[in-house]
Amino acid sequence: MVPARPTVPGFVHMAAHPLRWRLLTALAASDYRVRELVALLGHPQNLVSYHLRLLRRGGLVTARRSSFDGRDSYYHLDLDRCAHELTAAGVALHPALRLEPAPLTAPPTVMGTQPRAWPRVLFACTGNSARSPVAEALLRHRTGGRVEVASAGSHPRRRLHPDAVHVLREDYGIDIADQRPRHLDTVDHGRFDHLISLCDKVREVRPEFRAEPRPAHWSIPDPAADDQASRPAVRHMAAQIDTRVRYLLPLLVHATNSEV
């Protein structure tokens, strides 16, 4: 009897196309708009848009309207979904190929030298009252304080969003009640290795950020834009950022190890 032909896992089918693989690789590092992906990959917009639609249909990529210009959309790679699909593909090939996330490890020490410092990260948004201080706190927490991290805003508010303070304390055991928003002009951008914007507006009004080392963009809605924002919205925002931070950690470890 002829054995049944196995079904190719969805992720393998999606990622096997060279252009879709390049799109996945680009979006693994940062959120982008279509025209930026066109410039980055050097393919016509209609072709890039077509393959983005396929990736969205497969559940690997999502799109969100820019909060700065509603005519634009930012595309984001769902890394949790990718991890799930990759694991399923490995198991489909052989049960022993179940993938496990890489553990977070400290920077290695070379005999006779000082331990390498972790990369330095600056998070930027508009008000520095919710998204960027939450990202700063979560990255510091997830690395046990080993990463030098700061946050700032282009138009800082007078105080942190109270629900952001509450959610960090209640859900993550982090207290930032004494922290105050700060202006981007008070921060030496050049001393940071990674500059991550979480706000579509600040990315547009401060284009010089793109020239800084290792720029990236996380397009996350601002729960503080509405003074009546609900605590569940802030909790959802913090969960999104925590997911992004968890997937940032292996990149920081890799960057540190590659310098040794």
| Domain architecture of the chain: domains with CATH | 10-97 (1.10.10.10), 121-258 (3.40.50.2300)
Report the pLDDT value the prediction gives residue 113, as an integer from 0 to 100. 45
What is the reported pLDDT for 101?
61
Query: What ranges make up the beta strands (E) of 147-239?
Result: 149-153, 194-197, 215-217
Q: What is the pLDDT of residue 204?
A: 82
**What rounded mean pLDDT belongs to the chain?**
86
> Which residue has 């590659």 as its token pair?
258
This prediction has a pTM of: 0.86
Distances (CA, A) of 38 to 19, 42, 117, 188: 11, 6, 36, 32
Q: Is the model's pLDDT at 175 over the cut of 90?
A: yes
Find, among 92, 142, 139, 147, the residue nearest to 116 by Cα: 147
Helix 34-41 / helix 18-29 crossing angle, nearest 10 deg: 120
Tokens matching residue 258? 């590659």
Residue-wise pLDDT for 40-92, tens only, equals: 999 999 999 999 999 999 999 999 999 888 889 999 999 999 999 988 888 88
Dump pLDDT digits (tens) for 146-168: 889 999 999 999 999 999 999 99
3 state DSSP class of 90: helix
245 pLDDT higher than 80:
yes
129 pLDDT band, cuts 50/70/90, is: very high
**Predicted confidence (pLDDT) per residue in 78-128, tens digit:** 999 999 998 888 888 888 887 776 555 444 444 444 445 678 999 999 999
Residue 200, pLDDT > 70, answer yes
Please tell me the predicted confidence (pLDDT) of residue 154: 92
CA distance 208 to 229: 31
Q: What is the pLDDT of residue 209?
A: 58
Please say if the pLDDT value at position 254 is more than 60. yes
pLDDT of residue 118: 78
CA gap 223, 234 in Å, rounded: 6
Q: Are 67 and 222 in contact (CB under 8 A)?
A: yes
